[in-house]
Structure 1
Amino acid sequence: MNNFWNERYAAEDYAYGTEPNAFLKEQLQRLQPGKILFPGEGEGRNAVFAAQMGWEVTAFDSSSEGKAKAERLAKSKDVEIDYQLKAYHEANFQAESFDALVLIYTHIPAQMRREYHQKFARFLKPGGYLILEGFSKEQIHNSTGGPKDINMLWSQEELEGDFAALSTLKIELLETELQEGEFHRGKAAVIRAVGTK
């Protein structure tokens, strides 16, 4: 899987563009900046935006190509991000150390999804925020991005179970028009969640 992402990110263009995800942008503008974590951050468009908004950003991904492009993007925007090269299972941060957790299209293999989602939630401080957007299971019928394995796509029930430790969790399923670089373009079935610990 690591080779897949390194190959995708090796192109000169940014696979998903350099603009932040629209839902993330909307949510971050409502919050007071603090410490924020971006697992599976790829080429860095969302982490860099958060840094521009005044957040103290930690991000990680297993793709060295993604890390290089994220750091290049941060430099071009004159911001700093702490971008670590590590896989999901290697992510070990202090419990309750982040004010926000962002999961944007981080589709983890089904057998590991719940374990990692619960692990990431433990890194949130009490009162910390979850911001999530990904493809719902209905996306299997579209060709506008996302895994072709329906078990890697998300349902409301799965996310409710994964993030049961949060004190609030609001989930929305919708159809939207994506315009995120070459690989997220067109009509898509997405699922969004915001929550607090």
Structure 2
Amino acid sequence: MQTSANPSANDVFLNKSLDEKVHALDAKDRDQWQQPEKVLQVIGELRDKTVLDLGAGSGYFSLKLVYAGARVIAADIDPTLLQTIQQKARQQGIDQQKLEVRQVNESDAGLSEQEVDVILTVDTYHHFDNRIAYFSELKQGLKPDGKLVVVDYKKHADIKQGPDFHHRIAAKQVIDELTEAGYQTIRLHQDVLPKQYIIEAFKQKQQAGTEWMRQQWNKEYASKDYVFGTEPDPYFKQAIDGLTPGKLLLPGEGEGRNAVYAARSGWQVTAYDYSDSAKVKADALAEKHSVAVDYQVMDILTGDFKPEEYDMVAFMFVHFEDPGRQQLHHKLDMALKPGGVMLIQNFSTEHPQYNQAGPQQEKNLYSAGVIKRDFPGYRTHVLAAEKIVMQAGENGMGDSSVLRFIGYKPKRNVK
């Protein structure tokens, strides 16, 4: 599984016997915490695709990729591990055309130009020296619509399994390095696996289209449980408890916890989200509490809201990058009545200092400058980055930093 000559990261592993390596890589409990089916789900459709398993080790993922329909190049620096993969493939009757083994070195993965659709590297990224140069060069081996998928251990002190804490690389650093290496769109999946993050890095810029967003959030909300719980966000609750009920817009509402609370408090609620699964849960929660919520599945970046329709807009934990973010802010401003309340609560630019969960790239995070730019003339009631403890549902993430804004839209001058 190792492909670098960095002694600080590799000595412990490379000095083990082959039996010790295979025992560690194929541990009986690995399926439980590795959850390979979730990794494959993030990678996506693999039929007729060619995948480089970089740092393949004993073939834990290589064989699973073959069974998912891919043609696989299992690459590693250790020839004895590659022999182990070949032996497993023969035992399982896997054709050599479906699984090729390839010995590589610390400076060259041996890829031809545009040879593969996907490069997967699991628990290996932290072993590389000169990562920016290496992964920049590796990019040429991807087809134009190809992507790199990095799976590695979270830099959390409470995760005891895996490499020593000081050898681990935080997700934000990986994202920054891959950005510098020239990858155009990078997506972080922080909460899919219990011990590791997953990062997708695309060779070409990807559009965050409606279908992609719908698929991602349908996966997030697929369980029967409410991912973020059924109680309203505490800050949202505090804000609306002090206001006279009217018409409320909730774009990116998720499973309905805030919409239902507002409806129970007398508000006329319109909510939007990308996810059909979220709507099903929101509708069920509304029915449970005998309230009505106008919940619609829509791409909030491209869809439209009724102008000057709402007394309050609450936009929470939705993180786009500009120019889409600025355009959406403009639409939310246009939807709010003059004198109406705009509430925004999103992760701040300080958030990565506290937590590796949630968005990590500055372009997706919020600052006071973004609010002042996009909501000029608003009478500010609250505008501050605040450290909080996130405890919503099963995805409670601990210490976080959010940017909170409550402002009143300017009223028209009456002549």
TM-score range, shorter chain: over 0.9
- Are 1:79 and 2:291 matched, yes or no? yes
Kept in 2: contact 1:144–1:188 (CA 8 A) = no
> Deviation string for 1:146-187 (max 9, x for gaps)?
223221111110111111153445301111111101223311
Measure, in 1, the Cα distance between the counterparts of 2:361 and 2:387: 19
Between 1:176-185 and 1:122-131, the stretch displaced more is: 176-185
Instruction: Choose which of 396, 399, 404 in structure 2 pairs with 1:184.
Output: 396
The Cα shift of 1:96 comes to 0.7
Structure 2-normalised TM-score?
0.46
Q: What displacement does 1:62 show?
A: 1.1
In structure 2, C-alpha distance between the alignment counterparts of 1:144 and 1:83, rounded to whole Å: 31
Distance 2:355 2:216 in 1: 18
Does the 8 A contact of 2:249 with 2:313 survive in 1?
Answer: yes
Q: Alignment partner for residue 269 of structure 2, among 57, 60, 71?
A: 57
Distance 2:265 2:249 in 1: 14
Distance in 1 of aligned mates of 2:224 and 2:384 = 34
Name whichever of 179-188 and 10-19 sits farther off: 179-188
More displaced 10-residue stretch of structure 1: 28-37 or 160-169: 160-169
Cα separation, 2, equivalents of 1:129 and 1:135: 20
1:35 aligned residue: 247
Aligned counterparts of 2:215 and 2:353: Cα–Cα separation in 1: 26
The 8 Å contact of residues 305 and 331 in structure 2, kept in 1 or not, is answered as no
Q: How far apart, in 2, do the equivalents of 1:90 and 1:156 lie?
A: 25
The alignment yields a C-alpha RMSD, in angstroms, of 1.5
1:130 aligns with 2:342: yes
Matched, 1:118 2:359: no
Contact 1:145-1:183 within 8 A present in 2 as well:
no
2:378 counterpart residue number: 166
SS in 2 for 1:121: helix
How many residues align? The count is 197
Unmatched tracts of structure 2, length 5 or more: 1-212, 410-415
Contact 1:144 1:185 in 2 (8 A): no
Seen in structure 2, the aligned counterparts of structure 1 residues 144 and 58 have a Cα distance that, compared at 3 Å, is: farther
Letter in 1 for 2:363: N
Q: Deviations over 1:108-154 (max 9, x none)?
A: 23331111011111101111001111110111234364223221111
Contact kept in structure 1, 2:380 and 2:405, CA below 8 Å: no
Segments of 5+ residues of structure 1 without an aligned counterpart are: none
Contact 1:60 1:84 in 2 (8 A): yes
1:86 Cα shift?
A: 0.4
Q: Conserved in 2, the CA contact under 8 Å of 1:144 and 1:184?
A: no
Paired letter, 2:222: A
The one-letter amino acid paired with 1:146 is: G
Aligned residue among 317, 339, 349 for 1:105: 317
The farther-off stretch of 150-159 and 106-115 is 106-115
User: 1:7 and 2:231 equivalent?
Assistant: no
TM-score after normalising by structure 1: 0.94
Of structures 1 and 2, the one with the larger relative CO (CA 8 A, separation 6+) is 1
Percent pairwise identity: 38
Distance 2:338 2:408 in 1: 8
* Cα pair 2:218 2:277 within 8 Å, conserved: yes
Higher share in strand:
1
> Structure 2 CA distance, aligned partners of 1:188 and 1:56?
31
Matched, 1:150 2:150: no
- 1:42 positional shift: 0.8
Instruction: Note if contact 2:251-2:315 (Cα within 8 Å) is conserved in structure 1.
Output: yes
Task: Give the secondary-structure state (helix, strand or coil) at the position aligned to 1:89.
Answer: coil
Q: What is the rounded CA distance, in whole Å, between the counterparts of 1:95 and 1:86 in structure 2? A: 17
> How far apart are residue 93 of structure 1 and its match?
2.5
